[in-house]
Structure 1
């Protein structure tokens, strides 16, 4: 890995020289825009909308247009003149409990490697963060911009994660969530049961980017001039509207089945299967008991018949 920044972590009067490394990387395949007919690369030219000339990189500047249409042009010298109090320092502002930082604020992650002469203060900061279960809130200047960030420990390495500023988080304004929803106790219990049946320790290594793997196989097949393997068809999602409680129960059963466990309603199904047999037996008994009554009725009718003839 190549260091992208050099500076120092400053907390109190302690200074820890460090190098900054990007902790993440994208594995997406990079595509170029090409002409479909002959595969020629599509080149984008930087054309000026006023004079119509192509503009070289060293002639580019940054412009801001106000709401009333006025334009302000800023060059590199303007940006260099802006005050950045953090300069080449990661300035610790305060230490806060780990759970108080909302994950929605997290941005990009970096590793901090200590300078050879800073191994001891680096270890001191790392152990202090772990012992107190806190993260350090810091300010740092990256790419000519001041950022808010936190320092936390991961596998004996101090990481820095940039944070969004509070005004960069959009408010979730959905009127539908303001309406009261009537949840039945049995639905809440079944939902909790579903959560329990799918509970596990988070192990990210067990997950794979199936789309990325299929894309790599497609590209490799195209390079070799072979036909790509047909994609596996996904199971069609049911569009039938079912009762929420039934859907939760079915979800619990499916989750348990995937873990090799017996569904909770298995005994109930066996009992239900015996019920028709009992009903049939009862029906037969009832029929047997009613039969003598019919026979007796026919005998009575037979006795009355001669009386009618004699009359």
Structure 2
């Protein structure tokens, strides 16, 4: 597994060297966009909205837009110094809470925690302590230049770290439009609804749930491949040795040269009068 973050987690005076690995992956089928005329992939360029010129990576700076059209530019050195200042600190578990006290809306992403060199014993100790106490640890961690609130918990025989949204990142339910106020619900309707829920209640078995759309899409792709319903991108044209700018300049120069050699019409007319 790829290591996302490397550091240590501490609770009290116990320090555990750990590595962080992503626990989930995106299995969506990625579809490319092609040019309909020649089936070549479409590329996206970074273009300046003012001068309409394509911008190279080295000409791009980061900034915060504090009001419309007004920015505070942040240097890479500033961001690196801030990142190092926070990443050098050990992740400290500051509180222990019950998992059921955290609403699922707060959870963001899940990572596996693996012990680094010399951390196996302390890792096992924290795992056992969390398991026996039926608690999870609340900590802070810097991942990809963002400070995250996190929950450290036991999953099977491993420790996991779940990043958690801060309260100001969770929108207020009061802002959700068209949510009905308390209304009168007929008892008969409620009884039938409860009966339906009871009939559909079952132990949670994640293996029985499948992404049917993704499976159907992959089957469609394979069927088209088998039926030779495929396209090939047109080969990129190799530009001529003389580019368009040079060619236009050469044509213009040729035109000017021809014009200079061509005798003026008035002088020729005057010459005919003299001979007459």
Preserved contact between residue 63 and residue 73 of structure 1 (Cα < 8 Å) = yes
Q: CA RMSD in A?
A: 1.9
2:8 alignment counterpart: 8
Matched, 1:183 2:185: yes
C-alpha distance in 2, partners of 1:178/1:98? 30
- Against the structure 1 CA distance between its residues 141 and 87, is the aligned structure 2 distance closer, same or farther, given a 3 Å change threshold? farther
2:208 alignment counterpart: 206
2:64 alignment counterpart: 64
Higher helix share: 1
| More displaced stretch, 28-37 vs 106-115 | 28-37
C-alpha distance in 2, partners of 1:151/1:181? 41
Preserved contact between residue 87 and residue 141 of structure 1 (Cα < 8 Å) = no
Alignment size in residue pairs? 227
Q: Normalized against structure 2, the TM-score is what?
A: 0.76
Structure possessing the higher relative contact order (Cα contacts under 8 Å, 6 or more residues apart): 2
Q: CA deviation at 1:112?
A: 0.4
1:26 alignment counterpart: 26
Q: CA deviation at 1:219?
A: 1.3
Structure 1, unmatched stretches of 5+, are 228-311
Q: CA deviation at 1:186?
A: 2.7
Matched, 1:97 2:98: yes
- Against the structure 1 CA distance between its residues 79 and 116, is the aligned structure 2 distance closer, same or farther, given a 3 Å change threshold? closer
TM superposition outliers: structure 1 runs of 4+ over 6 Å: none
Deviations 1:82-126 (A, max 9, x none): 275453522211111111111100001100011242111101101
* 2:194 counterpart SS class: helix
Q: CA deviation at 1:143?
A: 0.8
Q: Normalized against structure 1, the TM-score is what?
A: 0.68
Structure 2, unmatched stretches of 5+, are 230-276
C-alpha distance in 2, partners of 1:6/1:20? 6
- Against the structure 1 CA distance between its residues 129 and 86, is the aligned structure 2 distance closer, same or farther, given a 3 Å change threshold? farther
